[in-house]
Amino acid sequence: MGNSEKILKVLDKGFVEIVDYMGGDRSAVRAARVSHGKDISTDEKDKRLIEHLMKNGHTSPFEHITFTFYVKAPIFVVRQWFRHRIGMSPNEISRRYTSKNVDEFYIPTNIRFQDTDDKQKNIVVGDEKLKKEVIEIIEEAYEKSYEAYEKLINIGVTKELARIILPVGEYTEFYLTTNARALMHFLDLRASSHAQWEIQQYAIALAYFFQKLCPWTYEAYIKYAYQGDVLDKL
């Protein structure tokens, strides 16, 4: 994978970068075959084994494929992301010690109104005048928060205390190491129309790297195990 292919832009200022990975389709095959004292076989048999594992929910061999991502995302997205406790190891920048990105806030282009019949459904606003008005309100609130943050810092208040007035639309950054099994669980829940649109965009970016690095596993996952409704339509 070339350097330019390692980063995907997400939302207006965010990204997902693949920093490191270990293993691929064959790591899962090798782990699965240990049960029978065998190792790698032909492409065709290995691919079929992956399909068999996926169809029957034997997903532990996929824990032998690991990825490290570097992610920049708004805090409200990260808050949803970090609810995934198993096989997801994050390390995030600390607002106690750094003001990095403290003035970077998510400005949505996709403005939605609440569907009155279904709480999980949104209606995308097409009216440009209305969109502009919404964005202006958001920008104004961000500016006020950031101004207050700067005032507090200039008075001498610590970063850990000054940050309490920053909004959840502020960008943060973190490393995340995960494995293919945990990643698939994340994609089931977040590459789904039930999840908030913004986290869906990050899930789609993770799926892109998963597909690039583990094409057989990804194909079998989408075909036999994926529980969402976004990736199969891309």
Enzyme catalytic residues: 190
104-143 positions binding ligand FAD, by CB under 6 A: none
List binders of ligand FAD among 178-197 (CB under 6 A).
185, 189, 194-195
Contact yes or no for 97/158 (Cβ under 8 A): no
Which stretch in 45-53, 67-75, 77-85, 208-216 sits in contact with ligand FAD by CB under 6 A? Answer: 77-85
What is the rounded CA–CA span in Å between residue 104 and residue 174? 15
* Host H or E run for residue 84: none
Residue of 13, 48, 84, 212 interacting with ligand FAD (CB under 6 A): 84
For ligand FAD, the closer CB: 75 or 152: 75
Phi, psi for residue 18 in degrees, rounded to 5: -85, 115
Contact call for residue 83 and ligand FAD (CB under 6 A): yes
What's the DSSP call for residue 41?
-
48 binds ligand FAD (CB under 6 A): no
Dihedral sign for Cα 43, 45, 46, 52, please. Answer: positive
Stretch that binds ligand FAD, among 17-25, 78-86, 162-170, 219-227 (CB under 6 A): 78-86
Indicate which single residue of 37, 44, 85, 129 sits in contact with ligand FAD (rule: CB under 6 A).
Answer: 85
| Interacting residue ranges for ligand FAD, rule: CB under 6 A | 83-86, 185, 189, 194-195
